[in-house]
Amino acid sequence: MQFDLSIFNPKARPLIGLDICSSAIKMVELSDAGKGVICIDRYVIEPLPRDAVLDGNITNLEQVTETVNRAWKRLGSSTRNVAMALPTAAVITKKIVVAAGLREQELEVQVESEANQYIPFALEEVNLDFQVIGPAPSGADEVELLIAASRKEKVEDRVACAEAAGLKPVVMDVEAYAAQAALELVEKQLPDGGRDRILAMVDIGANVMNVTVLKNDQSIYTREQAFGGSQLTQEIMRTYGMSVEEAEMAKRNNTLPENYEAELLRPFMENLALEVSRALQFFFTSTQFNKVDNIILAGGCAIISGIGETVAARTKVDTVLANPFVNMVPSSRIRPKHLLTDAPSLLVACGLALRRFDQ
């Protein structure tokens, strides 16, 4: 059993954040502009063929590899090192407390014995890694560790796609952690830098809506609901007799008939706002909390014009679109207007690209 996949500690620079989600390949490359300022050098979103990735699993290696390769060529970067992420559901994470001052090898032994107790697979089938979080709340003679474990095949599929496209995976993160890293940049734009506020991050992808409620960067609640942008795509296909590719393209380029907005888009937006409202009710009934200070919308659906206002009107909660790039300097290649539109769907890719600056 070896600690071979560094989930937490990249050794190489520079780095591209590579997000493989169910609808597209997303890449972001950041660099240091000096004086603590980050530059967004380039980014790309390359649509994936339908069902090439299902529920976070790569089902068609060849199609995903081709799309990754196409995306990297469009990105126009000479960097081949990539940081990737596993779907949150594919990773088991657990915090443990161990004695302070243990050497790396002693920590590995502790981690293995702990992992044996809660991982439902044989350890040789698993990639295992850990990170020291800091002193344990219980006292100065103990430290808290975060253990992360994932089935090897989940890791190998992603690595295989990147390598077949000529790229070199140097970090494997977890989507939820990558999104949270980018979210910290969004929080800074809120009153008091988001401090002591209860924030609901709602990430709406093609098929799934993930809700994470945070307070001071600590997750206090998570929920997944089956709802996403593919429902709107299906409606477009049915109403206008289009293929999935045509529907996605028309949706993205605003080339749909005049009645689209009133008959399909508005009802979908109202539906989405209702789902967010429902998710918050679940949060209130299953925790001691009874309010949320801000909703932060992310994911592909967050780029629909007017969605923030629709969600705010339904939930009566101040709603913002996730844009981790607000305080970054865009390179001359970046079109600010396009970046503004795409930003909410680039949270994971941005969080992965930020790994370049890890100490």
Q: What is the DSSP letter of 349?
A: H
145-197 confidence digits (pLDDT tens): 889 999 999 999 999 999 999 999 999 999 988 999 999 999 999 999 999 99
Residues in the chain with pLDDT values less than 70: 1-12, 359
88-135 confidence digits (pLDDT tens): 889 988 888 888 888 989 989 888 888 888 888 888 899 988 888 888
pLDDT at 248: 84
Q: At what angle do helices 61-75 and 152-164 cross, to 10 degrees?
A: 50
Its pTM stands at 0.89
pLDDT at 88: 87
pLDDT at 122: 85
pLDDT at 2: 37
Q: Is 3.40.50.1000 the CATH classification of the domain at 191-321?
A: no
| CATH value of 16-89+155-181+328-357 in 3.30.1330.120, 3.30.2350.10, 3.40.30.10, 3.30.420.40 | 3.30.420.40
- 16-89+155-181+328-357 with 191-321: one CATH topology? yes
pLDDT at 65: 98
pLDDT at 359: 66
The whole-angstrom separation of Cα 256 and Cα 119 is: 49
pLDDT at 7: 52
Q: What is the DSSP letter of 289?
A: -
Domain ranges of the chain: 16-89+155-181+328-357, 191-321
Q: Dihedral, CA atoms, 52, 54, 57, 62, nearest 10 degrees? A: -10
Q: Residue 158 in contact with residue 178, Cβ under 8 Å? A: no
pLDDT at 1: 33
The whole-angstrom separation of Cα 319 and Cα 225 is: 19
Q: Residue 349 in contact with residue 18, Cβ under 8 Å? A: yes
pLDDT at 348: 95
